Amino acid sequence: MVRDKIYTEPLLKITDDRFEAENLLHYRLFLLVGPARLNFCVIDSESNRCLALESYVTDVNPESHLFAEKLSNLVENHPYLPARFWKSVHICVANDKFTLIPLSLYKEENSLNYLKLNCEVDTSIETVSAYTHKQAGIVNIFALNDNYHRWIKSFYPGKNVQFMHHTTPLIEACLRQPSGTYQASVLLCVGLEFMSIIVREGSHLKFCNKFFFKTDEDFLYYIFLVMDELGLGQTTTIKIYGELNTHSPKFAGLKKYFPNVFFGQRPSNIQFGYVFDELPEHSYFDLFSICYCL
């Protein structure tokens, strides 16, 4: 029997004691949709304080037509997600259907053609969207399933729902981190079976891509491949975010070859109460970093 549901019980649920359902008009909803996970958090727009965080396991591919149904069931049966009066709603999609184009060459009417050079796009079931990274001078063009794109837009009518690709908050976060050197540094965000690698050199974006892996060997192979192709040495600083810890063989393998491997911290412009003290600093960085894209 194939399981095709989003569990109704969250894998993780944290609620700040300052959360007040009657104040949703002042709250921003961040939602990240990706393989095996559906995460969301609530940010108070006035204090920039994270007031809630929940994570759900999903056995449905986000590109499947079933996903919109399962997503709607989760949202509609949640205590406060069905509210229509959020200050803003932001959706981040973690898939491999994206491409980066220099802003100087970008023409909106050619978005589909740009994307088709990098991946297959079925316009009968997929919507093409884009996000402009002004500091980096690039446009992130991506595709997402049309079923839940239309459902989210209709479920939150009157709201300026913002869609973005998973790499967008990571790029913005990477470029905003302080750097006292022009040497390249790596931001590595790890999911259950995928990772995003962002490389910054000085204040410039040098590399961005997403890789899917099944084994620890695959995980290390892709990192070594990127480091080798970019000519990055063993002393390169690598900051890790996401679903990885010090006991992981992946971390041990990285540390063996790259001594300057560290776990990163949360975005500095979001406040967190004591209820988040037990949550590792490097967890849910991609979700929290949506704050850089407002």
Q: Does 159 share its domain with 285?
A: yes
Neighbours of 108 (CB within 10 A): 9
- The phi, psi pair for 285, rounded to 5°, reads -65, -40
**Does some domain include residue 3?**
no
Contacts 24+ apart (CB under 8 A), 157-161: 157/84, 158/84, 159/84, 159/86, 159/88, 159/89, 160/88, 161/89, 161/90, 161/91
AA letter at 255? K
- In this structure, are 144 and 75 located in the same domain? yes
Q: Please report, for the domain that includes residue 160, its CATH number.
A: 3.30.420.250
Quick one: 32 and 74 in the same domain?
Answer: yes
Co-location of 145 and 199 in the same domain: no
CATH at 210: 3.30.420.260
pLDDT along the chain (294 residues), means of 10: 54 96 95 87 98 86 68 84 92 94 97 96 94 96 89 82 96 85 88 92 93 94 97 95 93 94 95 97 97 96
Buried b (16+ CB within 10 A) or exposed e, 225-244: ebbeeeebeeebbbbbbbbb
For residues 184 and 91, membership in a common domain is answered with no
Rounded to two decimals, the pTM is 0.93
* Sign of the CA dihedral running 251, 257, 263, 268: negative
The answer to whether residues 67 and 31 touch, using CB atoms and an 8 Å cutoff, is no
pLDDT at 2: 41
Interatomic CA distance for residues 44 and 42, integer angstroms: 7
Same domain, 215 and 143: no
Task: Tell me how many domains the chain contains.
Answer: 2
- In the structure, how many helices (H) and strands (E) does the chain have? 7, 15
Token readout for 32 is: 């990240």
Report yes or no on 117 lying in a domain: no
**Looking at the structure, do residues 78 and 199 belong to the same domain, yes or no?**
no
Give pLDDT, residue 262. Answer: 95
State both tokens at 228: 């080798």
Domain that holds residue 244: 172-263
Supply the pLDDT for residue 159.
72
Residue 75, φ and ψ in degrees, nearest 5: -65, -45
Q: Coil, strand or helix: which one is 78? A: coil
pLDDT at residue 3 in the model: 44
